[in-house]
Amino acid sequence: MPKKTFPLSAAQLEELARKHATPFHLYDEAAIRANARALKAAFAWNPGFREYYAVKAAPNPFLLKILKSEGFGMDCSSLPELVLSETVGVRGEEVIFTSNDTPAEEFVAAVKLGAIVNLDDITHIPFLEKHAGLPELVCCRYNPGKLKEGNAIIGHPEEAKYGFTRAQLFEGYRILRDKGVKRFGLHTMVASNELDAAYFIETAQLLFDLVAEISAQLGIRFEFVNIGGGIGIPYKPEQEPVDLNRVGEGIRSLYAEKIEKTGLAPLDIRMECGRMVTGPYGWLVSRVLHRKSTYKDYVGLDACMANLMRPALYGAYHHISVPAKEHLPHDFVCDVTGSLCENNDKFAIDRALPRVEPGDLVIIHDAGAHGHAMGFNYNAKLRSAELLLRENGEVVQIRRAETIADYFATLDFESLKTFA
């Protein structure tokens, strides 16, 4: 069976854990850069290709700055994410603002930044016009309903809260055209953590066909299609990553047939991947606090679902390794738990591990996206630090751990003294 990897030896990790208290998240800069370049290479045939990194996956400015230097734009869905992008120097049409149930002030901020506004609903056209004005370039998000299958994480498209219906899309672009919008994009995203390369090729075909129909009916020209993100990662050791070259070449073939031959070129290909860019190159490092044996065996960590929510939220699999004991038999079947007052605070259920003891370090793999970002403070748990392994081998802290003072910072204890 293939093995999950980690960029430090057991001894190096132990030394790191003596300097930085566990739990912490660690990211590998060199691996992230190499992966970013592989994604760009798969679409090098399309001169206007751009990947907008989904900031929600890992909203740390140090990571965003790395990706900016690799030529990535940013996909934002909130005002703080727009601020993060601008802070690292990503602005204008290098940003796409894809949100839903959007407050007026966030549309205003996106337009002020010069970001591409990606509308989620036909009613957002007059809302955007009223509060921020209609920019020259507007994109709309398509929900294909039963025409396209979703998957377990994002659900069936017809049940999702996102996007225009097909009929609304034609009407929406007509309204935008008549109101003076000159430049257009088209977007969809209907799956998350998908490992089938064919899925993304089919998504491109769906959008290419739609571009042709809308262009012919409304007399408008599209500058780009954004095929979304959703490229999965092999969380389980036996899984294979998506073949990016196969995705790129499959879309290239469709592009030649449906875009170039029909006079719709140039049409830029855009994506908004988050998980596949940083996910495999981030790890949650934790230490065993307790072992418990009742009706089954439990291994209790100093991390909890406040540090990595996915297993509790989705029942998601994250591989767990014990670096100092990986050579031993994996014959100890246990639940790996955190300390929250919730019984679903488990990183793994009935997982076979080496026989761990209190004090052992464990690595939870593939936590580089939707890991630290989804943290929370239930039970007054404090969010952990983030570390970055630089290309030169140095490890630097890119976010300190929260303190009790941070947790109480939004409370006014002075007013409490006179509160009756």
- Taking the chain (420 residues) in consecutive chunks of 10 residues, what is each chunk's mean pLDDT? 87 97 98 98 98 98 98 98 98 97 97 98 98 98 74 57 92 98 95 92 96 98 97 96 98 98 98 98 98 98 97 95 97 97 97 98 98 96 97 98 97 92
| Residue 256 CB partners (closer than 8 Å, separation 6+) | none
- The reply to whether 383 sits in an annotated binding site is no
Residue-wise burial string across 315-340, b where 16 or more C-beta atoms lie within 10 A, e elsewhere: ebbbbbbbbbbeeeeeebebbbbbbb
d(CA 237, CA 251): 28
φ, ψ of residue 140 to 5 degrees: the values are -125, 145
- The reply to whether 273 sits in an annotated binding site is yes
How high is the pLDDT of residue 145? 83
How high is the pLDDT of residue 147? 60
- The reply to whether 310 sits in an annotated binding site is yes
Half-sphere exposure of 370 (CA within 13 A, CB side): 23
How high is the pLDDT of residue 149? 56
Which residues lie across from 291 on neighbouring strands? 299
In this structure, what token pair is assigned to residue 347? 């990183």
Q: How many Å is the Cα radius of gyration of the chain? A: 23
Indicate where the chain has its CATH 2.40.37.10 domain(s).
Answer: 280-408
How high is the pLDDT of residue 153? 44
pTM of the model: 0.95
Q: 140, 304, 334, 341: which is the annotated catalytic residue?
A: 341
Fold of 29-277: TIM Barrel (3.20.20)
**Does the annotation mark 140 as catalytic?**
no
Indicate where the chain has its CATH 3.20.20.10 domain(s).
Answer: 29-277
- The reply to whether 314 sits in an annotated binding site is yes
- The reply to whether 230 sits in an annotated binding site is yes
DSSP 382: P
The CATH architecture to which 280-408 belongs is Beta Barrel (2.40)
- The reply to whether 275 sits in an annotated binding site is yes
